[in-house]
Amino acid sequence: MNIYVLMKKTFDTEEKIQINGGVIEEDGAEFIINPYDEYAIEEAIKLRDEHDGEVTVVTVGDEESEKQLRTALAMGADKAVLINTEDDLEEGDQYTTVRILEAYFEDKDVDIILAGNVAIDEASGQVGPRLADKLDMPYVTTITELNIDGDTVNITRDVEGDEEKIETSLPLLVTCQQGLNEPRYPSLPGIMKAKKKPLEELEIDDLDLDEDDVEAKTETVEVFLPPEKEAGKVLEGETDEQVKELVSLLKTEAKVL
Amino acid sequence: MTKLLAFAEIKDGDIRNVSFETIAAARQIDEGAEVVAVVFGNKNVEEAANQMIQYGADRAVTVTHDNLENYTSDGYTQAAMAVIEQENPDGMVMGHTSAGKDLSPRIASKLDSGLVSDITAIDGEDFVRPIYSGKAFEKKSIKDGKKFITIRPNNIAPLDQDESRSGDVASLDVEIKDIRTIIKEVVRKASDGVDLSEANIIVAGGRGVKSEEGFEPLHELADVLGAAVGASRGACDAGYCDYSLQIGQTGKVVTPDLYIACGISGAIQHLAGMSNSKVIVAINKDPEANIFNVADYGIVGDLFDVVPKLTEELKAIQVK
């Protein structure tokens, strides 16, 4: 089975966001594999172990993305592909990323592509469905269970807390939701092995694309921080009094009741 | 004249509030635009179409087909593309809901257009959206192609309903076929409560809730308030509740009018998911808990003492 995973690196969830010169300051920030992509990597490895085949993790990123790709290899993925756009692209959007991935997948024989359902930084959730459309594949988003039997695929999908049981077939693209699995930590032997696993590096030129082909459809005009919240009022007195005061404040001051 | 499509969303036979918000968003993009409501379903679409008109749409286009009973990517794409082909709009607005998130990127891909997702405000030509789960915001513009956006529920106020308002409702015949993802069954798990993403009030529990049963007083408070129940990752990881309730950097990002955090310490990942709520109440035993730094009102105390009393007090004033 030819299994592909789309991966993105994101800020560690612990990071505070700072803005410098109109953009998010990345210097000194810790990066991690987007948490939803970790579910995709874990599921891909489980599929490979069950059905044989190969797991290839693909990212569109920069030089620094190699670190997260090595982590994915250490978890158990077989191959990694870094499409490095650092020297070629100033600003891209989801259209850009998908044009690049579409070109990458053009000559690939794919059974399944797994992605996170959303990245916790830009949080658009567009790349999976857009790519599936370009590759003319069915897709199922926010999956929490995946079973493949021959060409038949049975999926449980999270729909705002409800569950949909879905039947579909390969080739297929899915986006992963929390609850799908428990991503493993890389083991020490895994980390050692990962250093020797193949990591292919490409630029958009290698995919017969130039800058104009992938020009973003949207642009970022401004990035800003939300207004700092001031610490509020801690109520005093016995619980009964506090509760009465709270209800009164919610009615008269905050006007939310 | 600019023409904008506003997509209605029907869930379990009822039109969702965010549908009306799409009309208001379209009017904010261009006050003078012709706003065309789009309604899909397997029955009773005219009723929803008329409601969309009462909430400010100029007219409506409906597609009725048995294969549109439940949302499927293939079914709704066929219907949406048929409407877009007929209307050739300058832009489209959908809710950033489960269906909107699934459908909008595919339509954008088909049209080779940009798409700005999960918008919370519209500022002239620019669209404001939270990034890093609300730790920051960005303003985006669409450089060329159709103005295509999805809006986060509960952020752009709908226009007032005008029951005397009328408009043309036209049905479009579309053959909906070759659905590649078949829905075998829908298991209702969230049906007992209000949907988290659209809730005006949320009562959320953290590790301090201590057990699955510990959520009971929170549910009782939520019932009195007509609120949805949510949770922190800590509570989900500990198995006290389902992951579908999780609010935070992983999980749902919510912006209700009132957020009542019970036994939640306020880890940065959780704050990212809820700190843009309009009013925050924190109930926690630990006076040093980080949640008090973002709370408008705080009560230092045991939630198992405070929450039931709060429920009683609210019941008492409701009776009055």
| A221: in domain | no
Same domain, A149 and A246: no
Distance CA A27, CA B296 (A): 33
The lowest-confidence range among A60-64, B5-9, B315-319 is: B315-319
| Range with the poorest average pLDDT among A60-74, B244-258, B287-301 | B244-258
Specify burial of residue A238 (Cβ count, 10 A radius: 0-12, 13-18, 19+). Answer: exposed
Residues B256 and B138 in one domain: no
Residue B191 has pLDDT above 60, yes or no: no
The arithmetic mean of pLDDT across residues B267-275, rounded, is 91
Q: Give the tens place of pLDDT for each residue, A112-139.
A: 999 999 999 999 999 999 999 999 999 9
User: Nearest-CA distance from A246 to chain B in Å?
Assistant: 7
* Residue B157 touches chain A, beta carbons under 8 Å: no
To the nearest 10 degrees (0 to 180), the angle between helices A35-51 and A66-75 is: 40
Q: In chain B, whose CA is at the least distance from the CA of A15?
A: B268
Domain residue limits at B24: 3-171
pLDDT greater than 90 at residue B92: yes
Q: How many domains would you assign to chain A?
A: 2
Q: Which two tokens stand for residue B107?
A: 């339509």
* Strands of B258-262's sheet in order across: A233-234, B297-300, B279-284, B258-262, B201-205, B228-231
Interface of A with B in 203-242 (CB under 8 A): 216-226, 229, 231-235, 239-240, 242
| Distance from the first to the final alpha carbon of chain B | 52
Residue A243 lies in a domain: yes
How much is the pLDDT for B176? 97
Q: What is the pLDDT of residue B190?
A: 63
Assess if residue A51 is contained within a domain: yes
pLDDT digit string, tens, across residues B225-263: 999 999 999 999 999 998 889 999 888 888 899 999 999
Question: CA of B165 to nearest chain A CA: how many angstroms apart?
Answer: 30
pLDDT at B192 over 70: no
**Residue A178 sits in the same domain as residue A243:** no
Residues in B closer than 8 angstroms to A220, CB to CB, are 138-140
Is B222 in the same domain as B275?
A: yes
Contact list in A for residue B275 (CB cut-off 8 A) is 226, 229
Shared domain for B166 and B210, answered yes or no, is no
Mean pLDDT to the nearest integer, A42-65: 97
Quick check: B219 contacting A, CB < 8 Å? no
The confidence score (pLDDT) of residue B193 equals 63
pLDDT of A72-105, one tens digit each? 999 999 999 999 999 999 889 999 999 999 999 9
ipTM: 0.93
Give the CATH number of the domain where residue B121 resides: 3.40.50.620
The answer to whether A114 and A40 are in contact (CB under 8 A) is: yes
B294 touching A (Cβ < 8 Å) = yes
> Cα distance from B109 to chain A (closest Cα, Å)?
5
3-class secondary-structure state, position A38 = helix
CA angle B9, B13, B15 (to 5 degrees): 35
pTM of the model: 0.92
User: Are residues A193 and A74 both part of a single domain?
Assistant: yes
Q: What is the mean pLDDT of residues B197-212?
A: 94
**Do residues A205 and A101 both lie within one domain?**
yes
Shared domain for A210 and A239, answered yes or no, is: no
Q: Look at residue B69 and tell me if it is in a domain.
A: yes
pLDDT grade, residue A34 (50/70/90)?
Answer: very high
Question: pLDDT tens-digit profile of A186-216?
Answer: 999 999 999 999 999 999 999 999 999 999 9
Q: Read off the pLDDT of residues B117-141 as tens digits, 9 standing for 90 and up.
A: 999 999 988 999 999 988 899 999 9
Contact A160 B196 (CB under 8 A): yes
Distance from CA of B46 to the nearest CA of A (A): 25
E-strand ranges in chain A read 2-7, 9-11, 19-20, 23-24, 31-33, 54-61, 79-84, 112-116, 139-149, 152-159, 162-169, 172-176, 199-202, 218-224, 233-234
Nearest CA in chain B to A225: B136
pLDDT tens-digit map of A214-256: 999 999 999 999 888 777 899 999 999 999 999 999 999 999 9
Mutate to test the interface with B, among A97, A154, A222, A249 (most CBs of B within 10 A): A222
A167 residue type, one letter: E
| In contact, A38 and A3? CB cutoff 8 Å | no
pLDDT in tens, A171-183: 999 999 999 999 9
Domain count, chain B: 2
